[in-house]
């Protein structure tokens, strides 16, 4: 997987890192306050905080998401419904 630093370098610049945060709420608050910009996965864009604008990177960066379950459980009713729901939810995400 390509990290944020590598994406910046591919775009032709070395980022100045002013903070490292684990929570997306904190990152968005820093962006909204004007003290930071951030590279974030598209799944975080589903609802943006006021004062935050999102733009797609060009070229677009894609990733794969996997679902893991115990071998032999694929046809278990709960596993089957869960996997079908994940596929449905992902297919409804724009992009």
| Owner of token pair 């370098």 | 9
- The pLDDT of residue 46 is 67
Place of tokens 């939810």: 89
Token pair 């994940």: residue: 86
Per-residue pLDDT, 78: 93
Measured CA angle at 10 (ends 48, 93), to 5 deg: 30
Average confidence (pLDDT) per 10 residues, the chain, 95 residues = 78 86 84 85 72 80 81 90 87 68
Displacement of CA 52 from its chain's centroid (Å): 15
Contact 35, 55 (CB under 8 A): no
């Amino acid at each position: 997987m390509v990290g944020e630093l590598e994406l910046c370098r591919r775009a032709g610049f070395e980022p100045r890192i002013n903070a490292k945060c684990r929570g997306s709420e904190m990152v968005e608050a820093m962006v909204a306050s004007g003290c930071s910009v951030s590279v974030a996965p598209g799944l975080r864009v589903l609802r943006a905080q006021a004062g935050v604008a999102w733009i797609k990177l060009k070229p677009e960066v894609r990733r794969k998401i996997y679902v893991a379950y115990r071998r032999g459980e694929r046809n278990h009713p709960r596993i089957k419904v869960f996997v079908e729901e994940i596929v449905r939810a992902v297919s409804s995400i724009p992009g």
